[in-house]
Amino acid sequence: MTTHAGRDIIDLAEPPDEDPLVDVARQLLKEIGEDPDRDGLRDTPQRFARWWREFVDYHPGTVETLFESTTTSQLVIVSDIRVWSLCEHHLLPFNAAVTIAYRPTGHLLGLSKFARVAHRHAHKLQVQERLVADIAHDITTITGTPDVAVIARGEHLCMTMRGIKASALMTSTAYHGAFATDSALRGELLSLARP
């Protein structure tokens, strides 16, 4: 751990030897009949621990950069933001293509901030339905507009790799403000956001 400007900063490149996740990984390897000390697996527990720390300690940076808007009737759509998350029911990954739409009311959100918000909510144990709701809530709060929609289409490895072992896409939506009440606006969004 290093100190910078009075703050402790943890170096995520190398987890400390006492990181309990290293022991968890070693035990997991033993439980599935592997030898964690054999060639090829010797450094796996440390890599496992580093990945988990990197995933859950994700920091998106600044998400609230706003610019003055010249119109309040414009529909803004940012589509195909790719995120990875972890299913909280099976601890298996899922990936989703996220589309975020809003109608600005005085301010425009910086383009990269949509991806930062989406990743902030993906980097935790999640379900896709909550992921879209969390993103919609943040965009509403940051931009100050009630008119926000989020659509996510995801493939969940908990379905693809286990159980039925079938690949499929799940779509989840969150419609706020005019997107919830105006079917024409929602139809325009769905038409423009179609892959």
pLDDT bucket at 3, cuts 50 / 70 / 90: very low
Residue 2 has pLDDT above 50, yes or no: no
Q: What's the mean pLDDT in 99-109? A: 94
pLDDT bucket at 112, cuts 50 / 70 / 90: very high
Q: What does the domain layout of the chain look like in residue ranges? A: 2-56, 66-193
Q: What does DSSP say about strands 76-87 and 125-126: parallel, antiparallel, or unpaired?
A: parallel
Q: Which residue has the tokens 């995120």?
A: 83
Per-residue b or e along 2-17, where b marks 16 or more CB atoms closer than 10 Å to that residue's CB? eeeeeeeeeeeeebee
Residue 4 has pLDDT above 80, yes or no: no
At 37-86, the pLDDT tens digits run: 999 999 999 999 999 999 999 999 999 999 998 776 789 999 999 999 99
pLDDT reported for residue 152: 98
pLDDT reported for residue 18: 81
Q: What's the mean pLDDT in 131-137? A: 98
pLDDT bucket at 1, cuts 50 / 70 / 90: very low
Select the CATH number that applies to the domain covering 66-193 from these four: 3.30.1130.10, 3.40.50.300, 3.30.379.10, 3.20.20.30: 3.30.1130.10
pLDDT bucket at 128, cuts 50 / 70 / 90: very high
Separation CA 142–CA 30 (nearest Å): 47
Q: What's the mean pLDDT in 188-192? A: 95
Residue 132 CB neighbour total at 10 angstroms: 26
pLDDT reported for residue 106: 85
Select the CATH number that applies to the domain covering 2-56 from these four: 1.10.286.10, 3.40.50.1110, 3.30.43.10, 3.30.70.260: 1.10.286.10
Per-residue b or e along 141-162, where b marks 16 or more CB atoms closer than 10 Å to that residue's CB? ebbebebbbbbbbbebebbbee
pTM: 0.86
Nearest residue to 147 (alpha-carbon basis) of 69, 57, 76: 76
**Sequence letter at residue 41:** L
pLDDT reported for residue 71: 73
Q: What's the mean pLDDT in 103-115? A: 94
pLDDT reported for residue 116: 98
